[in-house]
Structures are given as C-alpha cells and as structure tokens.
Amino acid sequence: MRNRNVPQSALRLILLVCSLVAARIEALAAPGELPVIQRIDKSSITVSGLSSGAAMAVQIGTVHSRIVRGVGILAGPPYLCAEGSVTRAYNTCLLLGRGRFESWFGLAPRRSPCDAGAGPDIEVRDLVEDTLALARKDSIDPVEGLRSQRVWEYRGRCDTVVGQNASRAQAEFYRHFGAQFVSRTLDNAGHTMPTDRPDQGACDVEDKDYVSSCGFDAVGEMLRHLTAAPAGARGAVMGRWTTFNQARYVDSTLPERERLGEIGMAREAEVFVPDSCGQRACKIHVALHGCLQGIDDAVYRNFVRHAGYAEWASTLDMVVLFPRVTALRPFERGFDPVGNPQGCWDWWGYTNRGVGSFRRYATRDAPQIKAIMNMVRVLGGT
C-alpha cells in the first residue's frame, strides 16, 4: 500500500501557510487607525450626546471651550452635577434616586415625570462657582470660551430619567456664562433619541435601543443650530465608514486590553467621512451614545447609523466621530464595588481611581476626554 502519511516538512509548510492566512484575515478584520482628513476646519468642532453622552458632551465643551464651538445636549445633566459621587449623580442629578425613594416610603407625594418641577433641585450657583474654581486652576479652559458657544438642549417632557429641573439647570448655567442657548421639549417622549424615521421604536416608552420614531429630527435641528446652518433638507448618506481601534488613542503604557478596561472604553468605534471632504474643508462633530448603547454591537450601530448624523453630515460637510464605552462590572478592576455596569460615559468619577482630585473626570486630565480629543486631533492631522 502507498504511505498516506504527510511528511513532517510538508506538514510544517502547511501549518505555516495556514497561520499566515489566519493572521492576514485577522489583520483585515481588526479595527485600524483613524483616517487623517487633509482639509479640516479646526475652528468648527462641535459635540453632542444622549443621556450620559450628553453629560460627556457638556464636559468636553466646558473643558475645551477654546476650540469647541457648539454643544448638543439630549437628556443630560449639567456640568459637575455629580461632583465626583455616584450617589449624588443618582439622587440629585436624575429622577432615579431620592425622589422615587421618598415617594416609595411615603415621605413625599409621588409625582409624574411629566409634572412641572419634577426632579430634585440642582443648585446652579454651586456649579458655577466650582467651574470658575477649575478655570482658575487651569484644569479647564477659561470660561470666556463659553460665551461664544452655541448650545442646543432637549428632553422629552415625560422623560423618567432626566427631570425638568435638570433642563432648567442647564439653561441657567449656560446663560450665566453668555452662551447662545436654545431649548426644546417634546410631548409624549421618554428617555430616548428622537428621530423622524418610521422604522425605530415607540417614542413614549423606554425603547430598548434608545433610538425612537418620534416624528422629530432632533439631530437635524441640533446640528443646524450648532453650525448656524440655514434651513435645508438633509441628503443621502454619501461617504465612507471606518472602524478603528480606540486603544491607539488612550494615553497609557498598559497593554491594549488593560488600557481600555481601566477607563471602560470599547476596542472598536466608528467614524463617518463624507465624500465632500475631498473637495471642501469639513467640520468635525463628536457624537456620544448613551448608557447601554455601547455595550452591544447592534445597539451601538443602530445609534451610529440611524440617529440621523450621517445624513446631515453629508449635507453639512461634517466628519462625525462616534467614540464608544462599554460596561465595567463591579470589582472587575479590583476593589471597585460600583464599576460602570450600564456602559455610561464617566460623568461621576469612575475613572478617578488613584488620583487626588475627585473632579478629574471633568477636567483636561480626564482619561476619556483625553482619548476623545486625541481622536479629534488625529482626524485634523495634528
């Protein structure tokens, strides 16, 4: 009989070829680097977000007010509201904490989130004084930059997470510093990203992916205000999507997995570059998802592709960056009983570990803010 055994040398060659092919496939599938856009208008950086993403947008806009020209806030708390405390974030800045606890035990009458004044009181004077103190320490840009910002704020009237008092605090804070502030409220809308797309979830209940059919194009109205663009129709999505590795932009010497895990950022995120950016100078917009939207790939991509950003980016000559965070389970980073199990952007201090300042999460030294601004600089070629 013929010997059917494969010679060892041939077997080694086959294994080598297979490993090279597998490595090539992995390299093709792995996220890469951000593209460098040759023609970028660096004076037209804007940022927006939903829920915790709105809180992060407010932080970025305040910390870097020299270069951020506009801030879009969809159902988010004001700057420094949490003061580095998850307990304060839950009880003072949102409807989720003290108000519900008191009503459950009969300490206060239960109020509908649709009622005027729903939600705990937020002392804006303290937020203003704390902001000024950070500016004096040069932890954030001078507050004079806020005077030239265009700010657009929105919440659903029946939002069960962010109350009307949080919206009032946003308005008082920004108007104190002289920003061009406008506010919108939508009846029968819950805690979600409102769109005029008919293929998303119901608007008046908690939609599981937090992008809903509300008959209202929030992103379009917001971006037109932030960029002072004239009224016009959005266009077709014409451009390219790039998936990139966020670990490249995190300031850390740790290995990739630890570098991302320490501050709760996901490995993959996306950016959209309109075709028009090859012919005209494009603006940069940073769009930040809310809690739970960055944990699951399908939910994240539904926000990225269907919230409305890409359609308006093609119309407004705007590169849109979609950074992404994911969940941190309690004790995942050692002795940390809180973590970030819902995958929220850090607006209360879970990235403060091992530092002296409990407000670091909302300053230039905040690791998530630094990573996002590193991405912005690379897009702009610096």
**Rounded distance between C-alpha atoms, residue 260 and residue 17, angstroms:** 32
Residue pair 58/79 in contact (Cβ under 8 Å)? The answer is yes
CA dihedral 69, 70, 76, 82 (to 10 degrees): 10
Residue 242 CB neighbours (<10 A):
15
pLDDT, residue 97, reads: 63
Give yes or no for a contact between 31 and 267, defined as CB atoms under 8 angstroms apart: yes
Q: What is the token pair recorded at 330?
A: 């309690």
Q: What is the mean pLDDT of residues 3-22?
A: 48
Q: For all residues of the chain together, what is the average pLDDT? A: 87
Predicted confidence (pLDDT) at residue 2 exceeds the cutoff of 60: no
The radius of gyration of the chain from alpha carbons, rounded to an integer in Å, stands at 23
**Alpha carbon of 251 to those of 156, 247, 303, 369: distances in Å?**
37, 9, 27, 11
Q: For residues 127-144, b (16+ Cβ closer than 10 Å) or e, as one string?
A: bbeebeebbeeebbbebe
* pLDDT tens track for 97-126: 644 444 433 434 455 666 655 567 899 999
pTM metric for this prediction: 0.88
**In terms of pLDDT, which residue wins out, 294 or 1?**
294
| 223-272 residue pLDDT tens | 999 999 887 778 889 999 999 999 999 999 999 999 999 999 999 999 99
**What pLDDT was estimated at residue 24?**
36
- Predicted pLDDT at 1: 45
337 pLDDT more than 80: no
Over residues 340-372, the pLDDT tens digits come to 999 999 999 999 876 667 899 999 999 999 999
Q: What is the pLDDT of residue 107?
A: 39
